[in-house]
Amino acid sequence: MPMSLAALLALFPDNTSGQIGADDMRTTVTELYQQPANVPVGGTTGQVLAKASATDWDTGWVTPSTGGGGVTSVDGDAGPAVVLTDNYLQLLIPTAVKTGAYTAVARDLVLVDSTSGTITITLPTGQPDGTVIGVRMVTSTTPTVFAVNVVRSGTDVFNKPGGATAYGMVSLNQGVVFQYQSAGGVWHPIASAVSLNDLNRLYWNPSCNVTLNISSTASQDVFYPVDTTSSAITLTLPSAPPDGTMFACKLIAGANALTIARGGTDLIGKPTTGTTSKVLAGVGQTLLLTYSNATVSGNTTGVWYEITDVRNTVAAGSNITLDAPANGLVNVNVDPNSADLWMPKLVTSAADQTVTNTTALVDDTELQYAIPANQAYDIRGRVILLGTSTEKARARITGTGTLTGDWCWVAAPNTAWSSGSMGLSGNYSQTLSSTEQQIGLPATANPMMMVFEGTLLGGASGGTVKFQFAQQTAGATNLVRKANSRLLLRRLT
């Protein structure tokens, strides 16, 4: 039961026995009774205790701020007050979903719907140290996801002193928490969340579409096998997807073309001068692309960069070309015919070929090679002929179509025609398809080796280079072009 001060003092008599008496105890009780409690009475749920002044025990119950500010006073005084702030608690309060531009306040968790287009969220300036604001994209469209651009106020920057003036968010369900540094006005992104699709781009594991046989618009991060047996197909890329979006396709069947077309104003291959489409025209051709968002890359448009472009029908004469887009990737385009640049072509006769009793030149059925249009080749040959000195032989290099060139030759028997002589004969600077060269043969049945070299030019439509041979004088003795005779060709251009 509560007792008054007088009742408490009555419990202590005057000091007449030499013991501690009423005077001492009365003083102590009075001081204790008059001292205020450490925690004041009153208050409501959710309120906090705060200092009202610098005086001991001067406290009161206050309602905490919900906007990131502090308690300036509990008694309304204009003098100094101890500020109790909740910014440091890192508690964010979700806003209503924003579908248009919005300026955030401290402790906002700004929820954004970018379905209708790119949304700008502005962060305030001049905030206390430790102020936190969160931004999260909760809704957008697919396959195109519109960006959420978080921008500064005043001269504030992002990430570091002298940093960027904006922070782009380009993935659905992406969220970022920013904390303010008042010195220098820096909003630091201290935490972020990414979607599963973003993780798929780091460790790409695309979903696989069923075989496509009609024109369609592609979704992001999907692999498309395509069959063009029925008709040509156009596959349109998503327009302005999130940065890092990937696309892949392969022509698995069909003789018709597969066209990969851009979406919107994006380009394919490289900025500014990139193409608006790519065509795959042969079974087995594969295309793998990754997207660079214009907001992130600083380009005027988004760009689909080629990671892999595997073709089996590249225009003849294109050889090897390197395409180096702005982000440092290198695309290598290889003309299959250009393999001849480093792999000479060796043509070897597998069997003997014979002419008898005729002076009409005949095509060698094995020593032939097709030269493509507008390509140049170095040609060398070693042909072994077996006959007699009576019929002798004649031979030449000839070509079809627009093939031109020149050649020179030398021939020698494997035994001397006369004692002390090597029996060499030959000629130089002969035009292709010129009069055949007369070749003497040994009197005995020994082979003659004819060696030649020259240059071939394919011209507008190309042609086939051939070795031709015949008897000089018709006779019953066979003239034989022996097996293991050879042509060696190496492409020059």
260 C-beta neighbours (distance < 10 Å), count: 24
d(CA 103, CA 124): 7
Residues across the chain: 493
Q: What pTM did the predictor assign?
A: 0.36
Q: Which residue has the higher pLDDT, 239 or 336?
A: 239
281-329, pLDDT tens digit by residue?
878 888 888 888 765 555 678 888 887 765 544 444 444 444 444 454 5
Instruction: Select from 305, 338, 371 the last residue of a domain.
Output: 338
Q: Is residue 190 located within the same domain as residue 207?
A: no
Arithmetic mean of pLDDT, 203-223: 81
Residue 418, pLDDT > 90, answer: no
Of the listed ranges 22-26, 300-304, 373-377, the least confidently predicted one is 22-26
The residues, ordered by sequence, that sit 6+ positions from 276 with a Cβ below 8 Å of its Cβ are: 261, 262, 267, 268
Reading the block at residue 291, the tokens are 């997207």
User: Of the ranges 101-110, 188-197, 394-403, which is most confident?
Assistant: 101-110
Mean pLDDT of 402-409: 84
Of the listed ranges 40-44, 132-136, 151-155, 211-215, the least confidently predicted one is 40-44
What residue type is assigned to position 58 of the chain? Answer: D
198 — pLDDT class (breaks 50, 70, 90)? low
Greater confidence (45 vs 20) lies with: 45
pLDDT at 413 over 60: no
For residue 436, is pLDDT > 60? yes
Residue numbers of the domain that contains 418: 345-491
In a domain, 144, yes or no: yes
What CATH code is carried by the domain that includes residue 167? 2.60.120
Structure-token pair, residue 255: 């003789």
Let me know if residue 321 belongs to a domain: yes
**Does residue 359 belong to any structural domain of this protein?**
yes
Instruction: Assess whether 310 and 405 both reside in one domain.
Output: no
Q: What is the mean pLDDT of residues 318-347?
A: 56
| pLDDT for 126 | 92
Q: What is the pLDDT of residues 229-246, one digit of tens each?
A: 999 999 999 988 877 788
Higher per-residue pLDDT: 272 or 267: 267
Of 179, 194, 209, the position where a domain reaches its end is 194
End residue of a domain, out of 159, 194, 229: 194
As a whole number, mean pLDDT of residues 112-118 equals 88
Q: Is residue 351 located within the same domain as residue 480?
A: yes
64-73, 152-161, 220-229, 477-486: range with lowest mean pLDDT:
64-73
Task: Dump pLDDT digits (tens) for 50-63.
Answer: 888 888 878 888 88
Are residues 380 and 420 part of one domain? Answer: yes
* In 237-276, beta strands by DSSP E: 246-253, 258-261, 267-268
What total number of domains does the chain contain? 3
Is the pLDDT reported for residue 469 higher than 60?
yes
Q: In terms of domains, do 325 and 235 share one?
A: yes
